[in-house]
Structure 1
């Protein structure tokens, strides 16, 4: 602090005034010092605020740039959304068109399936008619078929008696036109639908023994022939029948339980069958 000393001569009133002014000056100088301190502090604060403002302005500028970039991105996204919406609308139109085409195809498929069902029915009817026609053609063709067989039983002598009824297997083939007779089973299988005539003979030699045969069609007994041989020697019996047969019907002869037969190279026991004529399946059975 600067102290100025004035050496002047003053009156008592002036000296008191000067003292008062000096005190005021000293107080002012103190206040000025405080103000300078405050000013320095405020200057520091102001400098700090300026730095902060500068930083804030930089941040604001950066934010503006980012906002600008974001706005550009938003604008680009809007454009892309607009494009996507256009594409979605186009896809919706295409889907609608496809759905219409699918519905049309379904209708066409339904129509086609109905037509196929009708064609199947017509085809089934045609196949049935064709099958009937083929059967008729086969029957017409078989009308000219010749079927005849004649077979002898055995050369071994006595046949039977047995504890059970048996099917006779005729071993000697005289005729088998059409191959209807089976030498393994002893059964005649009709090669074609028609009317057949069968004859058969039986012979026995054992005294007191029954001799004869059953003629059987498909397991059903058709003819029952029996002869008692009371005195021994050669006892003969014959039988004949005309039968209407379906194709593959079976006709054969069976020897009942306890009965006996005799055959040798003289062919006493013969089984014969002949096709008289064929019948048309459409005509049904003859009665």
Structure 2
């Protein structure tokens, strides 16, 4: 039996016969063998026309998953939420599953499925959860579609100010991103002007939602300026200088060496020799070698 050879798309030749094989719904289906290539082409073209498109397959797959989720989740209770229905919603091109839930307080809410069900679930109610003190308590940083803790992240900008970047022309551009939308704040000649524009935008967009969140939250968020996360430069350590008269183990410095980075030293045995300054500072060489004793001759 000769080896299979691919002649055209989805057509393979084996022992002078042409086999048609097409992938349908992720499975390879054999449509028979034919004596001529023309017959195989006709069968292949008909099979490809009847084959459902990728979008149709995805719709079928999503519909089947939605059906399974409805059977699994409807009627179940998570925290204070009872699931009444499961439906899909597109955000841009991405498909999300949402729940229609009734809270124990009587309110209706429509959270994302992953916010109620699963390991990353955060919602236990419609937001009416009463803590021990009787006040509203939020046990998550996710509030009104915004992760409030991210608003106070430290700056990674080279300018040292979050949302401010330097252009090639030497000016400074200020921007702010809030609830998935980037807002242009302008271009300024100085860093201080761009920093001030960014600070005013934070007061307008960030501060109100942080203050509202802190009134209900279990873990409060501290309001900081955009440049408060700027790292302070560490003070450089002063290099230790080697001075004449300094003693390092068995050696005493008597003068500077003939080369840069070397010092002239006298050992306790009387030997005078130039030594690398690094060896002196880090005790890599304690003597001229007399501490090791005489070398043993090889026999």
Query: Is TM-score (shorter-chain normalized) higher than 0.5?
Result: no
Higher RCO structure, 1 or 2 (CA under 8 Å, sep 6+):
1
- Structure showing the higher helix proportion among its residues: 1
| Structure with bigger gyration radius | 1
Give the TM-score, by structure 1 length.
0.23
Greater share of strand residues, 1 or 2?
Answer: 2
